[in-house]
Amino acid sequence: MLSGLLKLILGFLLAIAVLLGSGLTIALYFVNRTAIPPARPTFANDNPQTKPDKPKVTQVKATSTPKSTPSSTPTPSPTPTPTESPDSLPPGAYQGIVTWSQGLSMRDQPTLDAQSIGGVGANQKVIILEESPDKNWQKIRIEGTDKEGWVKAGNTKRVD
């Protein structure tokens, strides 16, 4: 009789140990599965495609010029000096687009320790002006503006 009672108690303890072991294993499995964050969903309006602005046409009003008298000497008209527009490409520069989905941080120097001077959004058009000597950084200008800065190389794609 003592032997039967001992077998009952040992069987009961063994059953509880098996249930606790399997319960802990299942709990650890679900805890580990919930610790992994899901992929961030993308929506149609996350990266809106901006349409290029149409150039604004300004009309110049014709002004009457004073009539010159025979005694007056003609004054030379000033020649306009060409100015570089922000959209013009300097020699060696090319157009690109930002491929990093979170956008890029622009810095004033080609180092990680440099001060951030702005940012560029994902899929935004830029002009790549130059590369650093070690080819790890690119100097860019945001298309349509005069904002320039350095970004990590490999996060832009050339657009032709």
Q: Are strands 104-107 and 125-131 parallel, antiparallel or unpaired?
A: unpaired
Q: Which 3 state secondary structure label does DSSP give 123?
A: coil
> Residue 83: its pLDDT value, please?
47
Please identify every stretch of the chain with a pLDDT value under 70, giving residue numbers as ranges: 44-88
pTM, to two decimals = 0.46
Strand partners, 125: 97
> Residue 10: its pLDDT value, please?
94
> Residue 62: its pLDDT value, please?
60
Strand order in the sheet with 94-98: 116-120, 104-107, 148-152, 137-142, 125-131, 94-98, 156-158
Average pLDDT, rounded, for the chain: 80
Model confidence over 52-87: pLDDT tens digits?
Answer: 555 566 666 666 555 555 555 555 666 655 544 544
Q: Which 3 state secondary structure label does DSSP give 14?
A: helix
